Structure 1
Amino acid sequence: MHADPEVGTGAAGHNSDFPWDEFDSQSYYRHNYRTIRDDDRAILGEVRDFFSSFGDRSGLKGLDVGTGANLYPALALLPLCDEITMWEYSESNVVWLRRELRGYSGFLDAALKVLTGRGLGYSRTWDAFWEVLCEKGLYGGVDDPRKTLKARARVCRSSIFELPPQQWDAGTMFFAAESLTGDEGEFESAVQCFLGALRPGAPFVIASMENSQGYTVGKYRYPAVAIEEDDLRKMLKDRATGTSVRHIESDGSLRTGYSGMILARGILRE
């Protein structure tokens, strides 16, 4: 793992050292996902093609770990899963997720249906992400993604380190394990907890920030472990088959202090 001596305050430290319940979910959402970026498009395209290759599967139990203020990993699970658990630790993120899934109600919901064709469910921001998923593969078969995600998703407030073993049939973990601690051991444990929560034969996708030096959300600085592609390759070598780990180019406009993204996918070994 890449160690950077210039990492500032907030990049180091253990998971328990940081104010996760005060995470500014709305600020994070606006900064990261209000407009779809090219790196997200690239990730969505690969995830779409990977999950679409399991077209003979349906009715699975899906898991998205460290969901935060990001719906697109859960949207990527929709065609395969009748149930999707969003496993999130931060109280502020849990509140944000439940509100976003619920959407509007009453008169406002009816008015939106007339004006935009969109009713109860997540905000219009995610339409651009869903459009990328629908370019090919299984996703066009989902008639109403808002209604479907609202019906199938549940938000569970708990730590990644408390995931029960072998409960889910497919999984996603985006920008979570490397961004919840500055300690390499905790990062590795988080990845293993995610994999351990999946049943043998489960397809999974992990997206990570590459060489992250920590990040600021609202008034707080949060930690990171600076990982590279080989770190994930080594961790997945004995745990998965059909593994692919690759660099995703980023133009750096998201923030300073990272060198791109890493996308890893595979199937948990039987």
Structure 2
Amino acid sequence: MPTARRPARGPTVRRNRDADWNAWPVDAYLAENYRRMHPCDIGVIHHHSAFYRTSAPGSVARSLELGAGPNLYPLMLAAGTARRIDALEPGSAGRDYLRRQLEHGPEDSWQPFYALCRALDPTLPATLPEALARVRVVAGGAGDLPDGAYDTASMNFVAESVTEDFGEFTSLCEAFVHAVRPGGRLVASFMERMPSYRIGGGPVWPACPVDETALRAVFAPRTTGLRISRLAKDRTLPEYGDTGVLLLTAERPAP
């Protein structure tokens, strides 16, 4: 998930188009967040695994990971139910990393994540490469999504981590909801109250601090069965400015 240190904020509100996502610092991002498993990762995996276990193995024709980035564990989790997983990623750096993992095999650092995923859901494929064989890397962002194309959709640390504009955050979440068919299911995680942030010593990336009240304001009018829970701030990570992680499940209303 994006790391955050509080930079000085100017008067200009930065939006998604103002950041160069092709230059996303993949190596630094992984080093700060995913080279080992943190308590917040364990919490997200437990939450998302419970969501996927309510569907029969292989029962989902198409699943979406919106803004996949270089994080592999959401893709692992979807492999128990989905026959095809589209990893939609706007940045070339993130896409290049994903393609390397698929074509040359995942890095060893991902194996403990998959061991936990499979311990929670034994219907997952026996090996991580088998699970990732269901993934297709797709160039694009939320604005490229066709309405209702997916049965399930997942989004992790994305909408709140790409814009300082709450209106744009809302639009991104709405596109996420409309990516699934009516009756389709949604699972997501958000950094709680995270300000715009840096990764390593790089540039400031835009973020929109959100809390449970903000998520309910966005998702309650657009979904049914909305459930939001919270993970405490992960003290094993550096001080990023967030106050925890918010976890969401919901469905797109049927007509």
Which TM-score applies when normalising by structure 1? 0.85
Aligned to 2:97: 96
The Cα shift of 1:21 comes to 0.9
Letter in 2 for 1:183: D
Uncovered stretches (5+) of structure 2, i.e. residues with no partner: 1-5
The Cα shift of 1:59 comes to 4.0
Aligned to 2:3: none
Residue pairs, 1:1-270, within 5 angstroms: 8-9=8-9, 12-55=13-56, 58-103=59-104, 121-136=105-120, 139-218=121-200, 219-252=202-235, 253-270=237-254
| Alpha-carbon spacing, 1:150–1:134, altered in 2? closer, same or farther (3 Å) | closer
Q: Secondary structure at the match of 2:88?
A: strand
Q: Does the 8 Å contact 1:26/1:96 carry over to 2?
A: no
Q: 1:15, 1:34 → 2: CA distance?
A: 27
Q: 1:225, 1:153 → 2: CA distance?
A: 29
> How many residues are treated as equivalent by the alignment?
246
- Rg larger in structure: 1
Q: Which moved more, 1:174-183 or 1:122-131?
A: 122-131
RMSD: 1.9
Deviation track 1:206-237 (CA, whole Å, cap 9, x = no partner) reads 10111111121252110100100111122221
Deviation track 1:170-228 (CA, whole Å, cap 9, x = no partner) reads 11100000001111111110000111111122221110111111121252110100100
The Cα shift of 1:12 comes to 4.0
The Cα shift of 1:135 comes to 2.8
| Alpha-carbon spacing, 1:255–1:154, altered in 2? closer, same or farther (3 Å) | farther
The Cα shift of 1:242 comes to 2.3
Which TM-score applies when normalising by structure 2? 0.90
The Cα shift of 1:16 comes to 1.2
Q: Secondary structure at the match of 1:243?
A: strand
Letter in 2 for 1:191: C
The Cα shift of 1:167 comes to 0.3
Q: Does the 8 Å contact 2:194/2:241 carry over to 1?
A: yes
The Cα shift of 1:7 comes to 5.9
Q: Secondary structure at the match of 1:80?
A: coil
Uncovered stretches (5+) of structure 1, i.e. residues with no partner: 1-5, 104-120
